[in-house]
Structure 1
Amino acid sequence: MPSVTPDGNDTASDDADRGVLETSTGVDATGIGIVGGATAQVDVTLPTPRDEDDLDDDGVVLDDDATVVADAVLVMDAGVVTAEEVIEPATAIVATASVAKDGHERLRPRTSEVALQSRRLGDFEAGRESSDLLTADRLLDPAHAVRPEPEGAWRHLLYTLSGRRVNLGDSKRARARKELDRRIAAPLQGGAKFVPVLSRKGGVGKTTITMLLGMALADAREDRVIAVDANPDRGTLADRIGRSSGRTVRDLVRAQDDVRGFNDISDIVARDHTRLDILASDADPRVSEAFNDDDYRSVAEVAAHFYSVVLTDTGTGIVHSVMNATLDRADVVVVVAGLSVDEARLASETLTWLETNGFADLVRRAVVVLNTARPGAAFVRADELEAHFGSRVRTVVRVPYDPHIASGSAITFRDLQAQTRAAARQLAATLVEGLRQQAAA
């Protein structure tokens, strides 16, 4: 029923003139009258409610304190209600102004510009999605997702006996191993990374550490890893995998100009079960000319095109024909120290020689490996050695004694003791992190 104001005017007719709806004509439209110094009609098209998930997908945020007032006239005693105060910003509806016949401004939403959460920049057709939005996280129901088989003896037994219904996840050891593998597999920026393995004394396990490091890298990484035997004399790196291609670094030096693809390299290198490639040294005693720095540069140039990490098993000592070329290409060096007084001193003197011959930066980034080559108690206190080398280099890693390695036969990574594999992975993870830090610097 229309009401009469003190001046005798019918408010219903005034409301009609001002564009205020007397009643709502449908649930799809809401009329909001704004009375004050100026009057505006705001028509807001409300989305048809479906369920809470659909509203979330469309980018509509529902607040517990928010109330939708439909078919209401908002009157303020002081001031004017603005469109920004009435229209919820989360609906992302942009209003346009139009002038009615009575001279009043009316705001109408441009519903075609409603922002959908699923749209990409540059997509102007509402409701259409690009294929990259069909992700596994969006489509797969977590309740029905298939978890991988757990690692760990009793956990896997329980998983099997329960008909694969009870999955407690991996054991603590398995989780630690997978975390190390994740660190090892981290991407390396830039070109190939060169890592020589050094020692000034024979018999400390330099070739063994080269093999363990290479196997741990190749086992966890997706890119290619190669270990080059750069011993000027007879090296034994290829002997530690039990496989031989019958080719050596000398063959690669001769064929360097004819290498067109990786197939040309794969005919020369040998590969172990972890996908580590080995380039053997020259074992022919009739060869009169030793492998020299020019030969190494030729091999390194070819290897840099096809491998991400190039390990170099250097000869015994520091001053020999290949060392200068090896250090010139080095990104990080690994120095091997045995657990005896003389072996520890020679390793420390190796660092001093590098510092005094222009490679102090390599010493700061170096990794020292304390290799236990003999069973039983060590001759020296390993904690003291670790403290000494830790004051000079970035990281110190201990590798335990392993009878599988001590036998001198071919090394199979999966046959090593668990603590030996863990130490090799720790060395590989430390190396990769050092290479990544260097690239970021």
Structure 2
Amino acid sequence: MAIWGKKPEEGNSDFLAPRPAEEGTQTKSHSLAEVAVDAGSIDVTPSTASINVVAEEPRLAPVQDAEVAELRRSNYSRRDSLRGEIFDQPEPAAMLTADRLLDVSARNRPAPESGFRRFVYFLTLKTVNLGDSLKVRERKALDARIGASLSGGAKFVPVLTRKGGVGKTTVSTLLGMALALSREDRVIAIDANPDRGTLAERVSKSTRFTVRDVVNRAAAIDGFTDFSTMVSRDVTRLDVLASDSDPMLSEAFDEGDYNVVADMAARYYSIVLTDCGTGIVHSVMRPTLQRATGLVIVSGGSVDEARLASETLTWLEANGYGDLVRNSVVALNTATQATQLVKLDEIEQHFKTRVRHVVRIPYDPALAAGSVIKFKDLKKGTREAARELAALVVDGLNNPV
């Protein structure tokens, strides 16, 4: 091997000569003069061809319990809990749901309401519970829909049509009674007919106050006790606020007056029904529709009554209330004249293309008399129609289009 660290002395030709090999060994040497080395061709990077790469195994946190073979999870779900999954954090309160905690077995079901099922329940000392019949379960389901809780403030539901004499006030009364019977909050029906409405005459009248009195005394009304003296309460717990009884003052009830009454009602009631007059372009109609979160259109069973009800929907759509129309319910009153000569199925089919649902109100002598309505004395079909209408209205309030 050549010694490069020592400067060659002048005249010393043996400086680059290789050392002699030891005896018994073979050496192979090359002179630098014989081999040309290109510095640019030398790869000075280290070679990794001979390095074995070993993948690093992920380090797992030590398991707290030696008997647990899987990692704990923190993303809770009801299904995982049922499978016995183990979590690394305490269960949140949201996991304490009613379907998880309540025992709905036959042993803990409510006693059947009546009939043979109730007899068996008590005969067996409450050990055999067959539950309610299908009819009772359907009724309870309808009660639950009507009594569903409503988010937000008061919900305003106008009941209107462009034609008089089709049973608008009757439908308003039936709807209010069905709502008040099944709900735990307060329901009021306001007679906003500027032409001497008759809504207060469909319930047992207990006061002479009207909407005009509410407007005049608004500043002095300090609570529900004061307001309740101005309404008539039916046995169903429906409150009714009458319109002006003096026809000379009826035209004075305008947009501003309605807003005063509506603001007052919104303080104490969850659902405010407004029995509107036939004048759809009257000034009261504007605030009524602006506040509306639901809508009921009343149609009679004759050709002209159905056409005018449909034109009411067209007017509403043309004036920016298309969403309200699509979420509305049509109450088809089949007790009007010429109903027997008209194909009610065709009328119903027409409205189903424009609104969310249609409910038929059957003929009932107690309604045709035009006097005070006693809900319990109505025919079963009439009561069921009113309850179905109430359920559909509440459905729309909770799930607007």
1:48 alignment counterpart: none
Q: How does 1:263-278 map to 2 (within 5 A)?
A: 263-278=225-240
**Structure 1 residues 142 and 258 mapped into 2: Cα distance closer, same or farther (>3 Å)?**
same
Q: Does 1:243 align with 2:222?
A: no
On the 8 A contact 1:232/1:315 being kept in 2, the answer is: yes
Is contact 2:195–2:251 with CA below 8 Å preserved after alignment? Answer: no
Distance in 2 between the 1:252 and 1:346 partners? 33
Q: Which residue of 1 aligns with 2:189?
A: 227
Q: Map 1:31-430; keep pairs closer than 5 Å.
A: 84=63, 87-89=66-68, 145=108, 148-156=110-118, 167-285=129-247, 287=249, 289-374=251-336, 378-430=340-392
Structure 1 pair 259–413 and aligned structure 2 pair: CA distance change class (3 A): same
C-alpha separation in 2, matches of 1:360 and 1:143: 48
Query: Does the Cα contact within 8 Å between 1:240 and 1:410 map onto a contact in 2?
Result: yes
Cα shift at 1:256: 1.0
Q: Measure the CA separation in 2 of the matches of 1:243 and 1:162.
A: 49
Identity %: 58
Number of aligned residues: 327
Native 8 Å contact 2:301 2:338 kept in 1 = no
TM-score with structure 2 setting the length: 0.72
Look up the SS of the partner of 1:268 in the other structure. coil
* TM-aligned CA deviation for residue 232 of structure 1: 0.4
Q: Are the equivalent residues in 2 in contact too, given 1:195–1:312 (CA < 8 A)?
A: yes
Task: Tell me the CA shift for residue 197 of structure 1.
Answer: 0.4
CA–CA distance in 1 between the matches of 2:187 and 2:115?
Answer: 32
Q: Distance in 1 between matches of 2:205 and 2:131?
A: 37
Counterparts in 2 of 1:85 and 1:247: CA distance versus 1, 3 Å: closer
Q: Which moved more, 1:357-366 or 1:164-173?
A: 164-173
Report how far residue 86 of structure 1 moved. 8.0
Name the CA shift for 1:218/1:320 in 2 (closer, same or farther; >3 Å): same
Higher strand proportion (structure 1 or 2): 1
Question: 1:404, 1:250 → 2: CA distance?
Answer: 30
Distance in 1, Cα, partners of 2:102 & 2:357: 44
Q: Structure 1's 163 and 410: CA in aligned 2 closer, same or farther, altered over 3 A?
A: farther
CA–CA distance in 2 between the matches of 1:142 and 1:432?
A: 30
CA shift for structure 1 position 243:
2.6
CA RMSD of aligned residues (A): 3.4
CA distance in 1, matches of 2:199, 2:87: 61
The alignment partner of 2:399 has SS state of: helix
Tell me if the contact between 1:339 and 1:379 (Cα under 8 Å) persists in the aligned partners. Answer: no
Higher RCO, 1 or 2 (CA under 8 Å, sep at least 6)? 2
Superposition deviation, residue 152 in structure 1: 4.8
Q: Give structure 1 stretches of 5+ with no counterpart.
A: 1-81, 94-114, 122-129
Q: Contact 2:163 / 2:308 at 8 angstroms: preserved in 1? A: yes
Deviation, structure 1 residue 281:
0.9
Q: Distance in 1 between matches of 2:168 and 2:99?
A: 46
Q: Distance in 1 between matches of 2:203 and 2:223?
A: 24
Counterpart code for 1:89: V
Offset of residue 148 of structure 1: 4.0
Deviation at 1:116, TM superposition (A): 11
Distance 2:304 2:194 in 1: 24
Secondary structure of 2:252's counterpart equals coil
- TM-score normalised by length of structure 1: 0.66
What is the CA–CA distance in structure 2 between the aligned matches of 1:143 and 1:424, rounded to whole Å? 33
For 1:252 and 1:388, locate their aligned partners in 2 and report how far apart those are by CA, in whole Å: 40
CA distance in structure 2 between the partners assigned to 1:301 and 1:215 by the alignment: 22
Judged with a 3 Å threshold, the aligned counterparts in structure 2 of structure 1 residues 328 and 376 are, in CA distance, closer, same or farther, namely closer
> Mind listing any 5+ residue stretches in structure 2 that lack a counterpart?
1-60, 73-85
Match of 2:394 in 1: 432
Structure 2 CA distance for aligned equivalents of residues 374 and 156 of structure 1: 42
After superposition, the Cα gap between the structure-2 partners of 1:384 and 1:257, relative to the gap in structure 1 and judged at 3 Å, is same
d(CA) in 1 for partners of 2:163, 2:137: 37
Distance in 1 (CA, whole Å) between partners of 2:385 and 2:186 is: 21
CA, structure 1 residues 143+248, in 2 after alignment: closer, same or farther (shift >3 Å)?
A: same
Q: Name the larger-Rg structure.
A: 2
**Counterparts of 2:365 and 2:295, CA distance in 1:** 27
- Structure 2 letter corresponding to 1:363: V
Distance 1:394 1:161, change over 3 A: same
Asked whether the 8 Å contact 1:232–1:321 carries over to 2, the reply is: no
| 1:357 Cα offset (Å) | 2.1
- TM-superposed deviation, 1:157: 5.8
